[in-house]
Every structure is written in C-alpha cells, then in structure tokens.
Structure 1
Amino acid sequence: MRLRRWRLQTRLIVLAGLVLLLVGTGIGTASWLSVRTSLMSDLDEQLTSMTSHARSGGAGSGPGAGPGTDSSSAVDSALRFLFQPGVGDGALAVVDSGGGGEGLIAEAGLSRPRSLSSDAIEALLSVEPGNSETSHESVRVPGFGDYRVVAFEDNETRIIYGVPQGRVDAAMDRTAWTTAVVVLTGVLITAGLMAVIIHRQLRDLRDVARTAREVTDLELSAGKPELALRVSSELAVPGTEVGDVGAAVNRMLDHVGTALDERYRGTEQMRRFVADASHELRTPIATIRGWADLTRPYRADLPAEVTTSLAKIDSGAMRMSSLVDDLLLLARLEAGRQPTNEDTVDVSSLLVELVDDAHVVHPDHSLILDVPPDPLEVCGALDHVRRVVSIVLTNACVHTPPGTRVSVSAAAVRKPVAGKAPSDDVAIRIGDDGPGIPTEIRDTVFDRFVRGDPSRTRQTGAQGGSSGLGLAIASGLIKLMHGSITMASSDEGTIFELRLPAA
C-alpha cells in the first residue's frame, strides 16, 4: 500500500518512527563497531605480546622442555612456549618445517598442552604468512571455534600462534542484543510520545475537515440552498498551515454559496417564466382551438387544401395545449405548489384499465399483465397514479419497435427503514425487451427535455413525438406521493419500477 494513501497522522508517526529507527540503528552500529574495535585491539595486543615472548626465548626450559620427555622432545622452541606457566587458556601454536605440521594447544586444567587434530592444523596452515608479527587474522579452527592468529616464517619454518576469539565474539553478541533492545525500546517509546503529540497538533486540522464533511452532508440540490457553515475564525487565520487551509475553505464556501444563490435565483426566474408563459399561452391556444372547432361543420364544403390546413392547425393547437399543460404542471411540481389529495387507489384495476387501452392504441406490441388476485391499494391521488403509469407504459410502447414484448406487473414488497419497523410498499414494474435506452442518457433520463434516439419508432400527430417532459413529470408526481421511480436498462431491454406506499 502506498504511504500517501494513509492518514496524515499515521504517515507522520511512521515517518518519525523510521527516522528514529534509522538514527538509533546508526548509533547502535557505531557503538558496536567501537566496542569491537577496542576488544579486538586488546586481543591483538595479547597475541603480539605472546608472540614476542615466545620468539624472545623467554620460555627458558620449562617442564616438558628438556630431554627425557615423550615425543614432545621433538617439538622445537616455538611449541615449547606452551609448556611454560602463565600461558593463556586456549593459546595454540603450529609449526611446519616442510615435513608436515605439528600443533599444540594449552587448556586450563591440563598439566601440559595437548596436540591439535589434523583438521585444526590444516585450517591454521591455510593462513598466509604476514610481513610482520602484527599481521593478525581471524580464522575458524575446527573443534575450537574462532581464533585470532598471526603467521610468519622463521628460517624456512612456518609458525602460527593464536589466541581464542570466542570471548570477544560472545561479548559482541551480548552488546548487539542489548543495543537492539535499547534502540527498539527507545523508538517505541518515542513513537508513542510522537503519536500523542501529533494527534494533539492535528486537532485543528480535524476541525476543519469536520466542517467540510458537514457541508457535504447538506442538501443543496433542491429548494433554496442554505450554506452558512464556515470554519471558525480561530482556525482560519492565515500564516500557519491549518490557518491557510481554513481560510481557503472559507473562501471556497463563500464562492460556492454565491454560486448557489445565483443558481437559485436563475432557477426561480426560469420557473416563474415557464409558469407565467405556460399560463399566458393557454388563452391564445384555447382561442385557436375554439375557432378551429367552429369550422368543423363547414369543412366538407371547403376546398381540400383549406380542410387540410385547418386539420393541421387543430392538430398543432392540441399538441401545443398538451405541451403547455405539461410545462405548467412541471413548474408547479418543482415549485412545490402542486396540490395532491391523499386517497386510496386500487392499483390492480387501474393497471387492467391502462393495459386494455394500450392493447387498442398499440396493437403491434405484445402486452402482458401480471397482478395478484387480491386488490393492491396504495396511498395517493388517482389522477397522479394514472398519469405516472400511463407515461411509463406509453414510453415502453412508443420508443420500441413493433413486436416488442411489454410486461406490466404489481406486487406488495417490504421496504426496510433504518431504525424503524419495515413498511409495506406496492411495486409496479413495467419492462420491455426492446433495444434499451441509449447509454449516454441513462443517468439523466428523469431530467427535463431529455429525449432518446430520434431514430426510434415514434408516433406522429397531436399525441406523437417527444417533448422530453414525460419522465420528469412522472418523477415529480411520484415523489409528491412519497414514492420513488427507478430505471434499469441494457441492450436486452428496460425495466421501470414505481414504488408507492401501500394503503
């Protein structure tokens, strides 16, 4: 997971911990190297002193050095040094004069050194002679562990002296573990303190974020927007990081509030204009239709061109009247001024009636009705429920090719309500197996003036065409009755679901 996806507090704590761990590891490593250098220097001095003492002949003739001893009488003066008192425990010496190496090791509790194994001698003889007695190396001796050794040649004889390195290694292991525990403990304690400090320091930033979250929870899409929330003045003082963010958030909210107010004023002006224009247009349209109707008894005696023109005027006036009524209804719905009479509506009988009408108007479609035998009743206005179902059913028939199968069904469903007992709804589903609604308008299908593909099959005449207002009106009416309308569409068809509270 990328670090930038973590919370800021977590990132600061992790980064601080990593820095502390890096610094602690560096200090611990430096301390370990310093101690090791000191201990290895002491060990090298011990080896140098032992080597100088052995070569100076200071061994004299100690026990076992004189004649009459066993096979050790053949060991030269380099090996006789180990027979002297005061030789450190584990000190060893190997001599190779060309006829095979010999080696002894002094061990505490033994009166005399004992011979080294051939593997140990071979490992020691692998050390190349140095230029001086201070050319020390570390080598692992089989059966004895790590040794600090010095190798040199004297009169064509290779001599190796060594002292055990195990105590230094053990001390360094203890030092490493102690340092690691101390560093880790220090990092954890410091990280805990940093977490507390960072949490307190980010409190102001959390307050700014809380204000932003409260703004996002406001309902600003409908009605007059109220955007009075602001970051407190104490947190919006420029000059600090939090103050800069708070001041920027307040400026942004000011701009958003101004834009929302302008949008609301513009929407209200447009709504009033549509309502006023629709209302004013009803009179001249009614006049046109009235005068056109007066000519109906005389059209048989008029020339064919005049009769056709009057029929077109009548059809256009009817279309305009329907469109103006839709615009006026939609304006009232959006303004919340459309009254509704709560009543009990028998959905089952209403669907039977509307599907029978659709069979007559759309004989080229296959309509299927599925309702339960018991009546389904909802709370709402009969005219509104009829209008909503009629709009959706008509769209399913008008915007699909001949032969399309249109199914209408209704059923009682349970609606879960948070914190409350489930309530009963009646779901009306109207679906078709047509080509589906175009992808580019599926998200806006309930908006005003949204039209489908003009190449789809549609009726013509006074009731034909598409104004793009039908589904917007259906959505507004069903919300007025405390219901909901949803749509799902694909290349295999479209399904609208209308939900209304059960009576």
Structure 2
Amino acid sequence: MIDGWSLQQRLIAGVLALLAFATLGIGVLSVVFLRANLIDQLDQELRDTAQRVQQVASGAPGDEVFGFDGRGIPVETLIGVVASGGRASAAYLDSDLRERPLTRGQLEVLTGTVLESPRTLRFPGGLGEFRVLAVPLADDSALVVGLSTRDVTITIARLGAVISAVLVGTLVVAAVLGREVVKVGLRPLRRIRQTASEVATLPLDRGTVALAERIPELPTDPDTEVGQLGGAFRRMLEHVQSAFDARQASEQKVRRFVADASHELRTPLAAIRGYSELTRRSGHDLPDDIRHALSRIESESVRMTALVEDLLLLARLDEGSALRRDPVDLGRVLVDAVADARATSSEHEWEVRVPETPVIVTGDQNRLHQVVANLLANARVHTPPGTRVTAALGSLEGRALVTITDTGPGIPPEIMPVLFERFARADTSRSRATGSTGLGLAIVAGVVAAHRGEVTVASRPGETVFRISLPREDPAPPVPPSPESAAGLGAPPSTAG
C-alpha cells in the first residue's frame, strides 16, 4: 500500500511513526517506573501496617486481633491469621471503616500462597488486588496483612490516559506542522517536476527548441540534496539545449544547402532537357541507340527536375516560407485533381464526392492541389489496375475534412511509422520505374502542417484511407459523411468515373 504514496506522504508518515514510537516508549517507561515506585511505597506502608498490627496481636489473645478500631490502620486493609494447621480467618476494613469477613474462596487464596515477602494477590468476589505480607507469630501461626492496590491502579490508569491524550495531540499537531514543513521543503522538487513536465510537452522533433526560457530559478545549493538535484537538472537541460542548438544549426546548413543546390540545379537541368529534346527531334539520321540514349537523357532530366522541385519546396517549407493566403474552394480542388488523375490513368476507377455547399479554406490553392494530386498519384502507383479510388470532401466542427480512399492491397505495416518521412518507399523496386521520388507524402505532410492542419492514414488489406483536416475559413453546418469513405467523411456524390 505504501508503494503508491507520494514522497510527501512517506516523509510525514515516517516522522509521525518515529514520533509515535518515541512518545509511546517514553510513556511506557514512565508507567513502568511510576508503578514500580508506587508499589515500593505501598510495600513500605504495608510493612509499617504489619508491624503495628503485629504489636497489637502480640498482646491480644485469640481473635481479639480482629477488633478494628481504625487507629493507625489504613482503610481497605486486609488482616488475617493462618494457623499452623492451615485454618485461616481474615477480615477486610472497607472505605467506610466497616469490618467485612473474607469468604471461603477468598480465604483459599491466603492459605494456598507462601507470603515471605510482599506479593500481589487477586481475591475473587470483587475484592480486587492486594499487596500481601505474612508476619510470623509466637504460636507458629502467621499474621497476614494486605493493602489494596486500587489507588495504584487508578493512578496508573490516569497517567495512561494523559499519555494517550498527549500522544494523540502530539501526532495531530506534528501532522499539521510536518505537512507544512515538508511542503515547503519539497517546493523546489515541485518546480523541478513542473519544469520537466513543460519540457516533455515541447515539440523537440521540429522547429526551434528554447529550453532556456522554460528553466525557472532552481535551488542549486551544493550543500543540500535538493540543491544538488536542482543543479544537476539545470546542467542536464543546458546540455540538452546545446545539443539541440548544434542539431538545429546542422539542419539549417543542410536545408540551406538543399535549397541552394536545388535552385542552382534547375537551370542546368532545364538546359540538359532542352538540348536533348532538340537533338533528338532534329537528328533524323541518328542511329537508334543514340536516339534511345537521348530519350533516356530527356526522361531522366524530367525526373531529376521533379526531384529538385520537390526538394526545393520541402526546403522552403522547413524554413517556414510564407504560403499564399487566399480563399480556396476545396471542392474545386478535388474535382480538378481527380480529373487530372483520370486522364493520367484510365485503368483505375476514379470517383469524387463533394458537397453542394462550397467548403472554403484559407491557403495556397496550388499547394493544396499538389497535396491531393500526390495522394491520388500515390494510390495510382501503389495499387493494381481496377482499384477504386475515391476523393471525398466534408466538414465537421469548423474544419474541412478530405479523405482519399482506395481499395488496394494496403500499406505494409513496417512502412506505416515512416510513411510521411522523406524518401520513404513502400516498393523500392518499382518506385524508380514509376517516377516516384519518395517525397510525395513528405510534401503532403509539410504543406498540410503549413496550413495548420493534420494528415493521418489508416490501412488494411483492401482499404487505405488518408484523412486531411484543415481549419475552415467560415463556419458551416456539418456535412453528412460519405458512405464510400471508410473514415465516415465526405458528402453526396458530385461526379464519378
């Protein structure tokens, strides 16, 4: 059970346990020593009483010893005589100074015990405990004198009650004060925990990481454990910050190199493509192998140009370059993109579903068209002929929802974690043949993120669904979902084919 307690609870419980143990130990020792002292005093009083009774008994024949008059004899005193043959007679002087003879059962306690020194005997019949001492008489009988331990018991009980009350009060006060003291002592730890929680929520995988702004004033006193922890935690954050700064500087250099290289490669690639086209078209007498080589140069230059354009776009997105901010009709974007895909591949079944009410977002129309076109091209490249590909548009809770669904074989599970990373390919053997650069889905993720949206994917054999969520420009009522989109997003069909 203690495993689930907080450090504050454990510290308070530990302090209270030690305090209770110490207080209880002191109380028990006090009770033991006080009882021993009271018993010693009672024994001394018992000896004095026995001596007085013995003096009276030595001059009084027979039962005259039982003639209590109360002079010099304490109340609740027991006096008896045990003859050598075992016959006993005894009486008890109660608090009202009345003489009460002992019963048979009470006399048996006297006759069955050797009382050479003061001992505690418990008598039945409600008489209670007595400290009893036997004094020998001249006729081989024994004079038995006893004093009640009632006062000792009452005193010990009262002391126990006082100790218990003090123990409870001490624990309550200690719990209240200890809670405040521990709370103040653990305040630096709470600041460290809060800082760690804030750092855990930072997007450390992208953008500029500013840990220094999140580090509060932490205790760094090397003479205290909390200060040592605070100093170590601050040094750790500073080390992590320096590592992130180095990573960011390195990534910035790479992005700048990619952007510069991509920009510089556009002109020579265009020249290579132009010269190859010109040579191939004007060289009617060229051998077939030369003509084929020129055709390959032209096609590779086209592919290389597309790769350079994609790299340049990603570099600009990484730098946070501003996109155009215009009202965009997503329905028109989907219709145009599906029309282009249908013209590119007639072997697939293309379908588009958009609502009658326009769904408007603020963004760059060309880039949003590129997002949809890349997803449609991804479905075309990685699904067999005859696959149905559906582009659906809808809205929900102030956001525009786009889904691209295909009935292909699905995405391999091992590709899903890196699907939106750069140069990720589900089928490397055919990606080059189909012209894929491995940057299409990375561009999708980058453009959608630049529009403050998000893209997700769900795939299984026979169905793959890409979902894009973008903030709408104007509030609009929810559009009923399309039955063809597996995610439950879309609207009644507009065109199909």
Normalising by structure 1, report the TM-score: 0.73
2: CA distance, partners of 1:369 / 1:409: 6
1: CA distance, partners of 2:92 / 2:389: 104
Q: Give 2:273's aligned residue.
A: 289
Deviation at residue 333 of structure 1 after TM alignment: 0.6
The amino acid that maps onto 2:29 is: A
Q: 1:276 and 2:250 equivalent? A: no
Q: Is the 8 A contact 2:218 2:231 kept in 1?
A: no
Q: Give 1:348's aligned residue.
A: 331
Deviation at residue 315 of structure 1 after TM alignment: 3.6
Deviation at residue 84 of structure 1 after TM alignment: 6.4
Q: Give 1:6's aligned residue.
A: 6
2: CA distance, partners of 1:146 / 1:404: 102
Deviation at residue 459 of structure 1 after TM alignment: 5.8
Q: 1:113 and 2:100 equivalent? A: yes
Which residues in structure 2 correspond to 1:51-450 (within 5 Å)? 58=57, 65=63, 81=66, 85=70, 86=73, 88-89=75-76, 91=78, 105-109=92-96, 111-116=98-103, 118=105, 124=109, 129-130=113-114, 132-134=116-118, 136-137=119-120, 139=122, 141=124, 143-148=126-131, 163-190=147-174, 192-197=176-181, 222-226=206-210, 228-229=212-213, 236=220, 238-241=222-225, 244-294=228-278, 309-337=293-321, 339-355=322-338, 370-396=353-379, 398-399=381-382, 408-414=391-397, 424-431=398-405, 442-450=416-424
Q: Give 2:477's aligned residue.
A: none
Q: 1:41 and 2:25 equivalent? A: no
2: CA distance, partners of 1:237 / 1:110: 76
Deviates more, 1:149-158 or 1:405-414: 149-158
Deviates more, 1:88-97 or 1:14-23: 88-97
The amino acid that maps onto 1:382 is: Q
Q: Which runs of 5+ in 2 are unaligned?
A: 474-497
1: CA distance, partners of 2:404 / 2:84: 108
CA shift in 2, pair 1:117/1:244, >3 Å: same
CA shift in 2, pair 1:261/1:14, >3 Å: same
2: CA distance, partners of 1:404 / 1:162: 111
Deviation at residue 485 of structure 1 after TM alignment: 2.2
The amino acid that maps onto 2:469 is: R
Q: 1:463 and 2:435 equivalent? A: yes
The amino acid that maps onto 2:277 is: D
Q: Give 1:28's aligned residue.
A: 27
Deviations 1:319-339 (A, max 9, x none): 2222221111100110122x4
CA shift in 2, pair 1:235/1:446, >3 Å: same
The amino acid that maps onto 1:470 is: G
Deviation at residue 274 of structure 1 after TM alignment: 0.9
1: CA distance, partners of 2:451 / 2:208: 22
2: CA distance, partners of 1:32 / 1:413: 77
Q: Which runs of 5+ in 1 are unaligned?
A: 67-79, 415-423
Q: Is the 8 A contact 1:236 1:247 kept in 2?
A: yes
Q: 1:479 and 2:446 equivalent? A: no
Q: Is the 8 A contact 1:104 1:116 kept in 2?
A: no
1: CA distance, partners of 2:21 / 2:396: 63
Deviation at residue 113 of structure 1 after TM alignment: 1.2
CA shift in 2, pair 1:186/1:161, >3 Å: same
User: Among the aligned pairs, what percent are the same residue?
Assistant: 35
Matched position secondary structure for 2:327: strand
Q: Is the 8 A contact 2:452 2:471 kept in 1?
A: yes
The amino acid that maps onto 1:387 is: Q
Matched position secondary structure for 2:355: coil
2: CA distance, partners of 1:428 / 1:250: 45
Q: 1:498 and 2:468 equivalent? A: yes
Q: Is the 8 A contact 2:419 2:441 kept in 1?
A: yes
The amino acid that maps onto 1:141 is: P
1: CA distance, partners of 2:376 / 2:460: 18
The amino acid that maps onto 1:429 is: T
Deviation at residue 95 of structure 1 after TM alignment: 6.5
The amino acid that maps onto 1:323 is: L
2: CA distance, partners of 1:499 / 1:162: 98
Deviations 1:238-277 (A, max 9, x none): 5555554454445444433432332222111101111122
The amino acid that maps onto 1:377 is: I
Deviations 1:45-65 (A, max 9, x none): 445555666677728659x93
Matched position secondary structure for 2:63: coil
Q: Give 2:484's aligned residue.
A: none
Q: Is the 8 A contact 2:350 2:389 kept in 1?
A: yes
CA shift in 2, pair 1:102/1:366, >3 Å: farther
2: CA distance, partners of 1:402 / 1:55: 128
Deviation at residue 40 of structure 1 after TM alignment: 2.7
Q: Is the 8 A contact 1:104 1:113 kept in 2?
A: yes
Matched position secondary structure for 1:113: strand
C-alpha RMSD of the superposition: 4.8
2: CA distance, partners of 1:184 / 1:476: 66
Deviation at residue 318 of structure 1 after TM alignment: 2.8
Q: Is the 8 A contact 1:105 1:115 kept in 2?
A: yes
CA shift in 2, pair 1:492/1:20, >3 Å: farther
Q: Is the 8 A contact 1:150 1:161 kept in 2?
A: yes
2: CA distance, partners of 1:393 / 1:237: 61
CA shift in 2, pair 1:275/1:107, >3 Å: same
Matched position secondary structure for 1:497: strand
